[in-house]
């Protein structure tokens, strides 16, 4: 005898269908909600919409040129999209965010171009490229 489907199971199934129908939109909703929580927690400006974030999100990382994957638990950091503040001090405002891979975002973190250039020089020295 088949067990009756619970409301929670029906809800989860509906969420999966919605997520699978438009993974980029699902990711944008998640990213904006997470950014809003961070902005509230750290008292930084926030003015993003789901539509804006989805619109600025390409299909591949502009840094590593790897295709984004928006759903799935086994996605590596080269493929996972991340909403990144260009200038962390300005907050989550239109024109100050980009969608890059989680790997690129973690490399950039709170670094400046000068910080990254110094790091590159050091890495090339220890790797023997110079």
Is the Cβ–Cβ distance between 107 and 86 less than 8 Å?
A: no
Chain mean position to CA 79: 10
Q: Is the pLDDT of residue 117 over 80?
A: yes
Q: How confident is the model at residue 121 (pLDDT cuts 50, 70, 90)?
A: very high
Angle ∠(5,6,9) on CA atoms, nearest 5: 85
- For residue 81 the two structure tokens come to 């999209």
Q: Is 63 exposed, middle or buried (0-12, 13-18, 19+ CB in 10 A)?
A: middle
| Residue 125 to residue 90: CA distance in whole angstroms | 34
Mean pLDDT confidence for 2-27: 72
Q: Is the pLDDT of residue 33 over 60?
A: yes
CATH class (in words) of the domain with range 7-127: alpha beta
Q: Is the pLDDT of residue 130 over 60?
A: no
Is the Cβ–Cβ distance between 61 and 69 less than 8 Å?
A: no
pLDDT given at position 1: 43
Average pLDDT, the chain: 87
| Residue 58 to residue 125: CA distance in whole angstroms | 35
């Amino acid at each position: 005898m088949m067990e009756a489907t619970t409301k929670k199971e029906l809800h989860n199934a509906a969420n999966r269908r919605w997520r699978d129908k438009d993974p980029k939109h699902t990711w944008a909703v998640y990213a904006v909600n997470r950014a809003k929580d961070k902005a509230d927690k750290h008292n930084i400006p926030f003015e993003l919409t789901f539509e804006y974030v989805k619109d600025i999100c390409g299909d591949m990382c502009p840094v590593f040129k790897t295709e984004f994957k928006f759903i799935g638990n086994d996605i590596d950091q080269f493929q996972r999209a991340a909403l990144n503040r260009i200038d962390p001090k300005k907050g989550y405002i239109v024109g100050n965010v980009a969608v890059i891979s989680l790997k690129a975002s973690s490399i950039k973190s709170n670094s400046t171009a000068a910080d990254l250039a110094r790091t590159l020089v050091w890495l090339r020295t220890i790797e023997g490229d110079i």
